[in-house]
Chains A and B, each alone.
Chain A
Amino acid sequence: MMRILFAMAMLAALSACGEKPQALQTSKQDASAYTGTGKAFASKDWKQGDKASWESHLKARNQYGQNDYTRMN
């Protein structure tokens, strides 16, 4: 009986020697930008969630906002 109790006590003591999982935490998944924010404070010229309209809108904004040769000449 004493032996069994001793063995159980030793097993309980050994449990402290267990190892916690140390797997590398990976980055969260990010939603694509074209899905939008779902809020009103966004550019109105494209449909949120529509990839094609987002791309064409950004290209147009890129040209209009930053290519002054197409605006002036």
Chain B
Amino acid sequence: MARMKFVCDAERCIECNGCVTACKNEHEVPWGVNRRRVVTLNDGIPGEKSISVACMHCSDAPCMAVCPVNCFYRTDEGVVLHDKDVCIGCGYCSYACPFGAPQFPSQGTFGVRGKMDKCTFCAGGPEANGSQAEFEKYGRNRLAEGKLPVCAEMCSTKALIAGDGDVVADIFRSRVLHRGKGAEVWGWGTAYGSKQAGQPGVAAPEGAKS
């Protein structure tokens, strides 16, 4: 299996925020933390475009590179996860991430920054698969249940696609061929681009935009 990837089709996203709601509900994400959010460009102007943004599980993840305590790891499927028992909540990852994925709960005394929280591609964390500890720290482990990320599966227009990178790229390519436009894949080049040092060339769909 190829590595897991997200693609958001800006031609289809209608800014319904269903993905955001589904994610928060599935993982019981606390108030103030949004693992996924919808960003609209040129809001209110005809031709506006919306995209759903979360951790893209980059090929050469900058968060992994800057973490001073090495709490990040990558699974066999290419999902970038972190260990909350090791995280010290320094926030370096949030400065390094080009997608603004790392989130920090701030309900503590004096607004103290808690341990980092981010999209897990519905793959849980380093606790035992499906355990209560895993759910409380990282949310549901849908991949271990044979399911795909809930944000993509719940997407009403199928703008957000998640799964095996090859399959996802094929689906997007067939859409572009059918409609004859909208080949730009927001964030694909930044997350999986082949120009990043030390990474093998990853085939991006035609017209990929960083």
Contact = CB atoms under 8 A, between A and B. Distances in A.
Contact of A30 (B70, B125, B130, B175): B125
Q: Is the interface of A mostly helix, strand, loop or mixed?
A: loop
B130 A39 contact: yes
Contact of A58 (B71, B129, B148, B170): B148
A27 B158 CA distance: 35
What is the interface residue range for chain B against chain A? 35 or more
B70 A38 contact: no
A68 to B, nearest CB: 6
A21 interface: no
B197 interface: no
B86 A36 contact: no
B144 A29 contact: no
A24 B70 CA distance: 8
A41 B163 CA distance: 20
Contacts of A41: 145
B129 A61 contact: no
Given A30-B73, A58-B1, A66-B152, A35 B129 contact: yes
Contacts of A62: 148, 161, 163-164, 167-168, 171
Contacts of B85: 25, 28
15 contacts: A26-B86, A27-B72, A30-B126, A32-B76, A33-B75, A33-B123, A36-B144, A37-B141, A43-B145, A55-B164, A59-B164, A59-B167, A61-B146, A67-B171, A69-B171
